[in-house]
């Protein structure tokens, strides 16, 4: 078994409550996905294994103040800025074993290959493991890269609470240090990741070269009507918050369909969360909360959509006896990847004789935060059946190898 495969299977087992080692798609069990939420016990065991494996590769390990992990291999010219590559270790609830670890182990493998070949590189290489990417334990995601780019302060990040009310600084414990990574010393960032969508798998193309990463906008909408008896309140006298929420759900879907058709096809919007109070069959719902997720690679489209949803919410609040308000939870602009890094990926793909296509990422990644500070791009490999954030997430070992080979060439190219 290759080292990469062994590392990914072992990390997968450390992220599962039953410790099962999953070597093939057929062994996947939908009840037994990864539960490696940032800071939990499985996350700690995984970090121990990863750090040990990084040290075996001769990397100099530093934990930063927020719990990001960096492994450095010096180049022949320490004055040059580094090539950084990596991803995250944390998972969603009941997730898969490739989302995140593929990019971390891929970068580590590039270093191991470079060591074995005695390849001389002038730039230092930094393997990065970003803390809390998924937002599955804490109230927001991508926090490791946000703190690096200054979008959030260290104090703010360390005092974020998880759903059990525990603060990040406490759950990280020994898994954070005093080191501060200065992105001023980094020239390039490249991240290998499963596509998390169906495009590559459907088209039978092994490699995706990411040109842009979607913007992400989250709205929390609260509608208040009047809770009352479902039997005694005549239909005309009701202030039913769920009926109004249903109108917003339909509006979001129809408007998004229309936007996707009229623009570039990458526009998506989803109402993925609905909380109905008091949620009883015989009570008219008095209060409903909705979570709306809006994404596109074009900021103009996001702005148009945001305005339309805000108008719709305002319309609800004009109904006598009803109140509605919208609150912005996440507002991340789309980002364009670096032409220089994209060209390096294209060269690698050509040299390896692989087929590739350019594409945009509909999922958020730490790369989009870094893109504002360093030259950044991403390499995608196939997600089997386009499935992600699910225990049925899978990438074939052949695709894993392809992705790691491309990444290794890119790191050699950019650091050489």
Residues lying near Zn ion in the complex (CB under 5 A) are found at 99-100
Q: Of 416, 339, 405, 413, which is closest to residue 107 (Cα–Cα)? A: 405
Which of residues 91 and 266 has its CB atom nearest to Zn ion in the complex?
91
Contact 141, 162 (CB under 8 A): no
Contact 254, 267 (CB under 8 A): no
Tell the smallest beta-carbon distance from residue 100 to Zn ion (Å).
5
Tell the smallest beta-carbon distance from residue 130 to Zn ion (Å).
9
Question: Please, how many CA atoms are within 13 Å of residue 173, restricted to the half-sphere of its CB?
Answer: 10
Question: For Zn ion, which residue has the nearest CB?
Answer: 99
Which of residues 15 and 100 has its CB atom nearest to Zn ion in the complex?
100
Which of residues 34 and 322 has its CB atom nearest to Zn ion in the complex?
34
Tell the smallest beta-carbon distance from residue 231 to Zn ion (Å).
49
Which of residues 160 and 367 has its CB atom nearest to Zn ion in the complex?
367
Tell the smallest beta-carbon distance from residue 280 to Zn ion (Å).
38
Q: Of 343, 393, 371, which is closest to residue 100 (Cα–Cα)? A: 393
Tell the smallest beta-carbon distance from residue 193 to Zn ion (Å).
6
Contact 68, 148 (CB under 8 A): yes
Contact 80, 124 (CB under 8 A): yes
- 3 state DSSP class of 325: strand
Q: What residues contact residue 397 under an 8 Å CB cut-off, 6+ apart?
A: 2, 5
Q: Of 17, 59, 57, 53, which is closest to residue 35 (Cα–Cα)? A: 17
Which of residues 102 and 410 has its CB atom nearest to Zn ion in the complex?
102
Tell the smallest beta-carbon distance from residue 296 to Zn ion (Å).
19
Tell the smallest beta-carbon distance from residue 238 to Zn ion (Å).
44
What does the alpha-carbon distance between residue 42 and residue 37 come to, in Å, rounded to a whole number?
Answer: 8
Question: Please, how many CA atoms are within 13 Å of residue 341, restricted to the half-sphere of its CB?
Answer: 26
CA distances from 31 to 12, 17, 18, 96 (A): 14, 10, 11, 11
Which of residues 360 and 415 has its CB atom nearest to Zn ion in the complex?
360
Per the document, the length of the chain is 416
């Amino acid at each position: 078994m290759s080292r990469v495969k062994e590392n990914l299977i072992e990390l997968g087992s450390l992220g599962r409550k039953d410790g099962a080692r999953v070597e093939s798609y057929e062994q996947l069990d939908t009840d037994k996905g990864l539960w490696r939420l940032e800071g939990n016990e499985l996350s700690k065991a995984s970090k121990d294994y990863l750090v040990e494996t990084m040290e075996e590769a001769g990397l100099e390990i530093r934990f930063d103040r927020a719990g990001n992990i960096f492994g450095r291999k010096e180049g022949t010219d320490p004055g040059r800025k580094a090539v950084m590559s990596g991803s995250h270790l944390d998972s969603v609830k009941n997730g898969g074993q490739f989302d995140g670890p593929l990019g971390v182990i891929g970068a580590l493998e590039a270093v191991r290959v470079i060591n074995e070949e005695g390849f001389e590189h002038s730039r230092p290489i930094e393997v990065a493991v970003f803390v809390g990417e998924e937002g599955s334990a804490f109230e927001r995601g991508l926090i490791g890269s946000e703190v690096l780019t200054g979008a959030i302060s260290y104090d703010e990040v360390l005092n974020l609470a998880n759903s059990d009310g525990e603060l990040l600084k406490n759950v990280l414990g020994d898994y954070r240090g005093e080191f501060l990574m200065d992105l001023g010393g980094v020239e390039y960032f490249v991240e290998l990741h499963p596509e998390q969508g169906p495009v590559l798998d459907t088209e039978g193309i092994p490699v995706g070269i990411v040109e842009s990463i979607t913007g992400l906008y989250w709205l929390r909408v609260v509608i208040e009507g009047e809770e009352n008896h479902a039997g005694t309140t005549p239909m005309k006298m009701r202030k039913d918050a769920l009926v109004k929420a249903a109108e917003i759900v339909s509006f979001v879907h129809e408007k998004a369909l229309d936007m996707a058709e009229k623009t570039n096809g990458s526009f998506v919007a989803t109402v993925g969360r609905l909380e109905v109070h008091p949620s009883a069959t015989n009570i008219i719902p008095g209060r409903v909360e909705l979570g709306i997720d809006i994404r596109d690679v074009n900021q103009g489209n996001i702005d148009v959509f945001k305005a339309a949803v805000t108008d719709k919410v305002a319309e609800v609040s004009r109904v006598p006896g009803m109140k509605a308000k919208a609150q912005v939870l996440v507002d991340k602009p789309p980002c364009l990847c670096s032409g220089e890094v994209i060209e390096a990926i294209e060269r690698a793909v050509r040299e390896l004789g692989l087929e590739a296509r350019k594409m945009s990422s509909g999922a958020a990644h730490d790369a989009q935060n870094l893109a504002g500070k360093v030259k950044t791009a991403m390499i995608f490999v196939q997600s089997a059946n386009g499935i992600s954030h699910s225990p049925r997430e899978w990438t074939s070992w052949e695709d894993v190898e392809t992705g790691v080979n491309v990444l290794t060439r890119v790191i050699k190219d950019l650091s050489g």
